[in-house]
Amino acid sequence: MRVFVYSLLLCCISTAVLQLCSLETVAQHKRKKGNIAQTRDNNLPNIVVLATGGTIAGAGTSSVSAGYTSGKVPVNQLLNAVPEAKKLANLSGEQIASVGSQAMADSIWLKLAKRVNQLCAREEVDGIVITHGTDTESETAYFLQLTVKSIKPVVVVGAMRSATAISADGPKNLYDAIAVAATRSSANRGVLIAMNEQIFSAREATKTNTTSTATFQSPNAGPLGVVYDGKVSWYHSILRKHTIDTEFDISQVTALPKVDILYGYANMDASLVDCLLSAGTKGIVIAGVGNGNLYPTVAVKVREATSKGIPVVRASRTASGRVTLQGETDDRQLGTVVSDDLDPSKARVLLQLALLKTNNTAIIQDMFFRY
Ligand SMILES: NC(=O)CC[C@H](N)C(=O)O
């Protein structure tokens, strides 16, 4: 009997030890994958870093030449490059995608926005940082600005030099972005872009230079604030509706409507509008010349498109300023909507979301004045 009890006891102990070992292995495995915070300081905010790829995670064979591949460095390695950031926040990382942002797709936007909403709904999460390629960083940020349902800070960050380049700007930008996300006063300012020590509204920021580390600018509104030595100072606020105050709910959305951009130019070929219609576009943004103006034969085709219920938004190919209603172009006659001061790429984002709700041009126009 005694032997039986001893062997039962031994059996229980060894099962418990085995379970503990396997639990530890899962934890170690998760840590390696980067989805568990290493140590937790209860006095620090909890920030989740969602990685999507881009130059910030780019790796090349030489530190001095321009060639590299985006999205090679996993999120944990990115975080390990900024050990100082662990003094600002408890950090955990998740890999959402690993792409150069020229490959950014609606499916990744939806996955990202849903994950941000899930995480922000958790009481213990205080803010989100998203690492992203700079090519389409401002479009992703504006998509989140319209679809995130939380006032918690959501900060998008990238880099112009790859992680293996000499004087890489990624670690500093990431440190700054974590500082912004970890700062209480960053809440309820919409989605932010932190680059090169400046903080921009997702609505206003745009990439203005192909290679400079000061590429992000906000030509119509300037930066909202600055981040320096891990500390944030604010100078402006965004007044347009964002995050919890928008009408867009993507929680059940699995695909976005096809919306395309046409670039305006002298002697423009009007058959491009037909090409888009036969490709199944549901809405068109025209990066028109000047104040969103259209080549005369294009205007005729646009009138045909709007009369078939395809909304057409007039934006501008110029780098700043607004497109005004009833300027040289007769919006009443053409049935067009103006983008206000949204650049064509962001006008496309808003039109995609608008088309989930309506194709009524008066309602869509109202959205372009509110968001
Ligand atoms: N500097 C960058 O991040 C741009 C490079 C890359 N094409 C990207 O957008 O991911």
CA-CA distance, 303 to 8, in Å (whole number)? 84
From 55, 136, 206, 329, active-site residue: 55
Counting ligand 1 atoms within 8 A of each CB, the residue from 135, 136, 160, 169 with the most, and so the one to mutate, is 135
Predicted pLDDT of residue 24? 39
**Above 70 in pLDDT, residue 364?**
yes
Which residue has the CA at smallest separation from atom 8 of ligand 1? Answer: 133
Q: Which atom of ligand 1 is nearest to the CA of 137?
A: 9
Domain with CATH 3.40.50.1170 in the chain: 34-245
What distance in angstroms lies between residue 17's CA and the mean position of ligand 1's atoms?
48
pLDDT band at 163 (very low <50, low <70, confident <90, very high): confident
Residue percentage of the chain with pLDDT more than 90: 83
Q: Measured at the alpha carbon of residue 344, what is the angle toward residues 338 and 345, in degrees to the nearest 5?
A: 135
Q: Which helix (H) or strand (E) holds 95?
A: strand 90-99
Whether 162 lines ligand 1, by a CB cut-off of 6 Å, is: no
Predicted pLDDT of residue 253? 98
Whether 104 lines ligand 1, by a CB cut-off of 6 Å, is: no
Reported in sequence order, the residue ranges of 90-152 that DSSP labels E, i.e. its strands, are 90-99, 127-131
Whether 209 lines ligand 1, by a CB cut-off of 6 Å, is: no
Range name among 35-44, 87-96, 141-150, 352-361 with the lowest pLDDT average = 35-44
Q: Which atom of ligand 1 is nearest to the CA of 133?
A: 10
Whether 137 lines ligand 1, by a CB cut-off of 6 Å, is: no
Predicted pLDDT of residue 38? 54
Range name among 37-51, 88-102, 151-165, 203-217 with the lowest pLDDT average = 37-51
Whether 65 lines ligand 1, by a CB cut-off of 6 Å, is: no
For residues 298-315, give the mean pLDDT: 98
Contact predicate 365/337, CB 8 Å: yes
Whether 100 lines ligand 1, by a CB cut-off of 6 Å, is: yes
Encode pLDDT of 43-88 as tens digits.
999 999 999 999 888 777 777 777 788 788 999 999 999 999 999 9
User: Is 55 tagged catalytic?
Assistant: yes
For residues 318-347, give the mean pLDDT: 98
pLDDT: is 252 or 2 the higher one?
252
- Side chain identity at residue 200, one-letter code: F
Pairing of strands 231-234, 225-228: antiparallel
**Above 60 in pLDDT, residue 302?**
yes
Contact predicate 99/73, CB 8 Å: no
For residues 121-138, give the mean pLDDT: 98
For residues 315-344, give the mean pLDDT: 98
Encode pLDDT of 191-249 as tens digits.
999 999 999 999 999 999 999 999 999 999 999 999 999 999 999 999 999 999 999 99
Closest CA to 251 of 133, 147, 367: 147
Predicted pLDDT of residue 79? 95
Provide the mean pLDDT of the chain.
91
What distance in angstroms lies between residue 144's CA and the mean position of ligand 1's atoms?
19
Whether 213 lines ligand 1, by a CB cut-off of 6 Å, is: no
Predicted pLDDT of residue 39? 72
pLDDT band at 2 (very low <50, low <70, confident <90, very high): low
Domain with CATH 3.40.50.40 in the chain: 259-370
In a 13 Å sphere around the CA of 341, the CA atoms on its Cβ side amount to: 13
**Above 90 in pLDDT, residue 11?**
no
Q: Which atom of ligand 1 is nearest to the CA of 53?
A: 10
Concatenating the DSSP letter of every residue in 66-81 gives S--BTT-S-HHHHHHT
Domain spanning 259-370 has what CATH number?
Answer: 3.40.50.40
Whether 160 lines ligand 1, by a CB cut-off of 6 Å, is: yes
Counting ligand 1 atoms within 8 A of each CB, the residue from 55, 132, 160 with the most, and so the one to mutate, is 55
What distance in angstroms lies between residue 213's CA and the mean position of ligand 1's atoms?
12
pLDDT band at 18 (very low <50, low <70, confident <90, very high): very low
What distance in angstroms lies between residue 131's CA and the mean position of ligand 1's atoms?
11
Domain spanning 34-245 has what CATH number?
Answer: 3.40.50.1170
Which residue has the CA at smallest separation from atom 7 of ligand 1? Answer: 100
